[in-house]
Each structure stands twice: as structure tokens, then as C-alpha cells.
Structure 1
Amino acid sequence: MAKSNDGEIALPFPILIGDIGGTNARFALLLDAFAPPKEFPIIQTAQFKTIDDALQRSILDKSSVQPRSAILALAGPIQGDEVPLTNCDWVVRPRDMIANLGLEDVLLVNDFEAQALAIAALSDGDREKIGGGEENFAASRAVLGPGTGLGVAGLVHAMHAWIPVPGEGGHIDIGPRSERDYQIWPFLEPIEGRMSAEQVLCGRGIMNIYHAICATERREATLDAPAAVTGAALSKSDPDAIETVSLFSTYLGRVAGDIAMIFMAKGGVYLSGGISQKILPALRGPEFRAGFEDKAPHGEMLREIPTFVVTHPMAALAGLAAFARMPDRFGVASEGRRWRK
């Protein structure tokens, strides 16, 4: 059982596709290149000790059709035969999957690589435009999504194929700019003295901002979860929650603008994930685009780049399914990331 180092990428059907994040894991089964995906109930990663246990009990034991191969999108860098996830305790071991779960072929990709695959062909019904000019269909695109962490990826069109560019862009530095930023920044929680984008643009980032605002105003923090903060903001029932989501939208806009410039993403910047969908009413407001466009001396260029919120509930699975059906349409590298029986 050795890794594949060749250029052949098509996997044998039926194919199990999976999007495994820090909190939730989503799976579907593709019977062939034409059948719609058969989706399984969402799994909470904390409820299973290992990914193999989760697959056996939640997928394989409940399906009369057994997959021959798997394409799994993971929240974390993929290196070696053991791949630990960034924000959960699972370790993915493709050799063990092949030995114990009856699979012949396993391909691992980054979770935001899957999100990038999805934005290659989202319909208008699966996204909502929230500003900017018209998209350039052949130009580069970018996707970022606040969730358990902050995922970032690019999508480049070259040689008649869409090439996803995964990375760890969520860990870039972020700093204060406005007078209000300088007031609350001393109360934000850094990591080893450094403030990364992920520290303010994810679930715990919402709480980080909220607690910093409460500390600045010398008020008690009464809300104890990201959903409580976003809910109170959208219902306009708590002023600190309202400001939290406003600042979150501003900071997300600033980072999205940075990513747009890095990838020259004239094809659009896409916001994915549950938090973006949940705070969509706030993202429709002026703060996000103001932060996105405030990039002197390149503000004019940024004003022309469209931004979208991905509204497809299973976007990463849609991206993996598109790739599984038509691998030649995408430039996905398999070297060091594919294992065969």
C-alpha cells in the first residue's frame, strides 16, 4: 500500500466525500459521475474518538452501498502518513482506512481547498453578492471563512483548469487601525504576543472581541457563546453584541481585502462557512465593504472586486463532488496526498 506519485487523479466510484472541520464533519456518497450525492447526517467530531470509528458507525454501517474510495477535506496541513486536525483530536491515517474500512483509494485535501473547488461553479442561487463590480469569470478568486478557525484559499484559472491554492492565510497578522481599535486592542487575547486574523475572525474571535468591548466599557460580559452574541446583535438587544458584530464585519472586510490583493482576485472574494451565513444581515451593511475597500493606494481596484457570501449549505461537499466527477477540470495535486491499496 503505497502513496501514488503519478499524475492520474480519477478515483473509482462509489466515492465517499467528506468535509471534516474542527467541530463538525459532513459526508456524502457519490455512486457514479452522474448520480446526485447521497448526504449523511452531520457528525460532531467530539462524539467519536477517531475518524475511522465515525466513518464505520455513521456511514459504512448505515449504507448498503460501500465506497471504494474516499476524498476527504481536512482542517489542517497534510503532511506524512498521519494527519492531525488543527482544531479537533482526530488524526487521519489513510493506510489504516484502507486496511480497516475496505477502501481502495484515499485522497486528502485541505478543507479550504474544497471550498475553493466549490466557488469555481456556484450558481447564483448558492451565493449572495454583497458589493463590488462585476466578476471576471477567468480571473483568480479567493475564499475565506470564519468558523472554528479562519480558513483561506485561492483559486487560479490556468491551462483550461481551476487550480486551488490552499494555505494557512488565516494566521496572518492583524493590527489596530481606528481609534476604537486602539481602545479595545489591549484587551484582546494574543497568542505568544501576536495577534493573528484567526484570533478575531472565528467563533472564539467573536467572544474575544465581545469580552474586549465589555472590558473597555467596564461592563459585565453576560453572553457566553458566539451564537448568543450574534443572535443578540441581529435582534439589536445588546449594545456590546451589536458593536462586536460590527467590528467583526469590519475586520473580516479588511482581511478579505488583503486576500483579494494577494491573489489579485478580480473573479471575486467569497465568504463561506456558518458564521458568514449567520451574520449575512450585518455583512450587507456598510462595515464589511468599507473595510474591504480601504486599501490605499489600491482602493479603486478593490471597489471593482465583487464579494459574495456562499449560501450553499454544503459548499465543500459540492466542490469535492464537482472534482470527483470531472477531475480533469481541476488542477489538484495528488503527490504525497493519495494512498492506494
Structure 2
Amino acid sequence: MTAILADIGGTNTRVALADGRQVRPDSIAKYSNAEFDGLEPILARYMAEAGLTAVEGACVAAAGPVMNGVAEMTNLRWVIDRALLNRATGASKVAILNDLQAQGQALGHIAPEFLRPVVEGKAVPNASMLVVGLGTGVNAAPVHNTPWGRVVPPSECGHTSMPVRDARDLALAQFINGYGDHAHGFAGVEDALAGRGFEHVHAFVTAEAGAPQARSSAEIMAALSAGDPMAREAARLYVHILGATLGDLALTHLPYGGIFLIGGMARALTPWMGEFGLKAALCDKGRFHDFLTAFPVWVVEDDFAALTGCASYLANGGIG
């Protein structure tokens, strides 16, 4: 089956063709979402440029909740449904996944060179896994292998409460409650760990030091690479909150097959996760400290994993 695939993030959309489970590497194209008013014109342009009038299957991964075959983007004002995919691609077999579901479907199909270990451990074969997205938004989804196939239930856990372990965490949460254009009186995980979350953490650290600064995440990353003390402290606090969040998720889902971090923020901060104590923060759960050492963590460095997951899902008979 020839299928068209789309991975729709908050900023960009990647589109590709697949033959069964195999994504065609030379077919991948990237589009800036800001230049389009929805997914349909992107697919129309891609189909025209590829010289296609129809394909057999279509599957998209959307960064937002999916219910009854309809995706509403969390950080983008787009709505995607089956009728849109049928109309834009001519496909009779269509599927719409949450982006984390697509990433979960890709696990096991990612080449080892694209997996960077950040917390050492031994994964249990065929055990449950957890995929965590850190980018424009934040989300996580468990991945369960069953005798009837792989199950990756949808989730929007990036909007649960930011973990608070001590007085400084509480001060950060209270700061986030009212800071910036996205303030909504609640400090969720995404408000601390998304790209804008890193900006919130840096603003808190600089305000705490008596010299408040408002910087973009790209500017903070550049300062971090240059050894700037405030950027380093912001990264240290970010990694602390990330570890606490992963520890909560590990206790909830028991991912003995491993935890897989995806997204731009995960990849950008990979060099500092060990230095700033990711494993210590993950395991900081009192009497469950030793129990939590059982869960290895990798950063996925494959830009096209969601497309692979979409292809795998369709090839395995997934629809909806």
C-alpha cells in the first residue's frame, strides 16, 4: 500500500510517502505551518509537487487531542478529520493519531544510532514503554505490546500539574501561574518543560537573582553553550523538574522497556542531563528510589520517527 503521511507539530509539518511500513527517505518534505491556514493546502501542494492524484492510505500524527477521529491542535488553530484526509488525498484508508501515539508506534523501528542513552539501565524485552515529547508542547504516552498488537492510548498529560518537591519548586510554580503571554493561573508540566516553559524557568531564575530577563529559548540555549551562569541555573532547574516528572510517569506506567524522550527541547538539553542530575531527580521518590533505577531513558534523535510510526500503524491495519 502506498500511503501519504504527515507529522504536524506546533511549528512545522513534515509530509512523506510510504510503501507499507517503509518511509521513502527521498520523499520527505517540511512546511512552515505559519504559511498555511490548515493541513489540506499542505497536502494539496505536496500531492501536486509529487505528481499524485490519489494514494491508497493516509495517516497523520497531530500535536493535540484526538477524539472520534477528529484532531484539534493544542498550539495551532487547525482541526483535522477523516473527511479532510479523504478529500485531500483520495485515500480510502485513513487514520489520525496523536503525535505521541505515532512516536509510540515507531518504537522498535528506530535505528540504534538514533537512540542516545541519558539514564543507563537494562530494558526488559517486550515490556511496556513510555514516550515523552518535549518541544513546542509537552505530552507523554504509554506503549503496550499485547498478543493482539501494540496499543498506544492517547494522552494529554502535559497539562497535569507541575511536580513540586520543595519550596523552590513551589516558588517556580507560583511564578509561572502569572508570568508571560500564556499565563492562565495554573502551572502545568508544559508550562515548565515546553520551549516556552524553558523561557519561564529562565525568567524565574533571573528574577530570583534580582536581574530579571526575558529571553527566547534559542537565546537561552546559546547562552548555556557559552557557559552563562543564569542559563546554566535555568537548565539545572529544568532538568530537575523533568526528572521529577519522569519519575511520576514511571511510577504510573511502569515502563520496564524504557523511557524515550523526543522533541527539540529533549535533544537540545541532552548534553547537560547527566551533569544536572536527571537520574537523581527521577529517582527522588523516597522509599521508591531504588525501584526507579530500573527504568532506562533514551533521547530519540530521529527526526522522522513519527512518520515511521504512522506507516507502521497503517501497515498493521490501523484505521480511525
Matches of 1:85 and 1:182, distance apart in 2: 30
Alpha carbons 2:129, 2:143 under 8 Å: kept = yes
Alpha carbons 2:99, 2:306 under 8 Å: kept = yes
Instruction: Pick which of 240-249 and 190-199 moved more.
Output: 190-199
Quick check: 1:321 aligned with 2:311? yes
Amino acid at match of 1:61: A
Amino acid at match of 2:271: P
Alignment of 1:176-255 (within 5 A): 176-189=164-177, 192-221=184-213, 223=215, 225-236=216-227, 238-255=228-245
Amino acid at match of 1:207: E
Amino acid at match of 2:65: P
Aligned residue for 2:289? Answer: 299
Alpha carbons 1:117, 1:319 under 8 Å: kept = yes
1:105/1:302 Cα in 2 relative to 1: closer, same or farther (>3 Å)? same
Query: Residue 76 of structure 1: CA displacement?
Result: 1.4
Alignment of 1:30-109 (within 5 A): 30-33=18-21, 36-57=24-45, 59-65=46-52, 66-80=54-68, 82-109=70-97
1:300/1:104 Cα in 2 relative to 1: closer, same or farther (>3 Å)? same
Matches of 1:231 and 1:283, distance apart in 2: 16
Matches of 1:124 and 1:84, distance apart in 2: 33
| Partner-residue secondary structure (3-state), 1:99 | helix
Alignment deviations for residues 200-230 of structure 1 (CA, whole Å, 9 cap, x no partner): 010110111111112212204153x111112
Aligned residue for 1:5? Answer: none
Query: Residue 110 of structure 1: CA displacement?
Result: 0.8
Query: Residue 164 of structure 1: CA displacement?
Result: 1.1
1:215/1:33 Cα in 2 relative to 1: closer, same or farther (>3 Å)? closer
Alpha carbons 2:161, 2:189 under 8 Å: kept = yes
% identical equivalent positions: 27
Aligned residue for 1:6? Answer: none
Amino acid at match of 2:206: C
Matches of 1:42 and 1:199, distance apart in 2: 27
Aligned residue for 2:299? Answer: 309
1:47/1:17 Cα in 2 relative to 1: closer, same or farther (>3 Å)? same
Alignment deviations for residues 20-43 of structure 1 (CA, whole Å, 9 cap, x no partner): 111111111014455744433211
| Partner-residue secondary structure (3-state), 2:291 | helix
Matches of 1:227 and 1:35, distance apart in 2: 31
1:107/1:309 Cα in 2 relative to 1: closer, same or farther (>3 Å)? same
Aligned residue for 2:275? Answer: 285
| Partner-residue secondary structure (3-state), 2:152 | strand
Amino acid at match of 1:171: H
Matches of 1:22 and 1:178, distance apart in 2: 32
| Partner-residue secondary structure (3-state), 1:148 | coil
Query: Residue 93 of structure 1: CA displacement?
Result: 3.3
Query: Residue 98 of structure 1: CA displacement?
Result: 1.9
Runs (5+) with no aligned partner, structure 2: none
User: How many residue pairs align between the two structures?
Assistant: 315
Q: TM-score, normalised by structure 2?
A: 0.91
Amino acid at match of 1:213: V
| Partner-residue secondary structure (3-state), 1:130 | strand
Query: Residue 159 of structure 1: CA displacement?
Result: 1.0
Alpha carbons 1:120, 1:162 under 8 Å: kept = no
Q: TM-score, normalised by structure 1?
A: 0.86
Aligned residue for 1:124? Answer: 112
Instruction: Pick which of 186-195 and 15-24 moved more.
Output: 186-195
Query: Residue 67 of structure 1: CA displacement?
Result: 2.2
Quick check: 1:144 aligned with 2:132? yes
Query: Residue 119 of structure 1: CA displacement?
Result: 1.9
Matches of 2:90 and 2:310, distance apart in 1: 21
Alpha carbons 2:70, 2:96 under 8 Å: kept = no
Matches of 1:213 and 1:291, distance apart in 2: 19
Alpha carbons 2:162, 2:173 under 8 Å: kept = no
Query: Residue 143 of structure 1: CA displacement?
Result: 0.9
Query: Residue 101 of structure 1: CA displacement?
Result: 4.0
Aligned residue for 2:151? Answer: 163
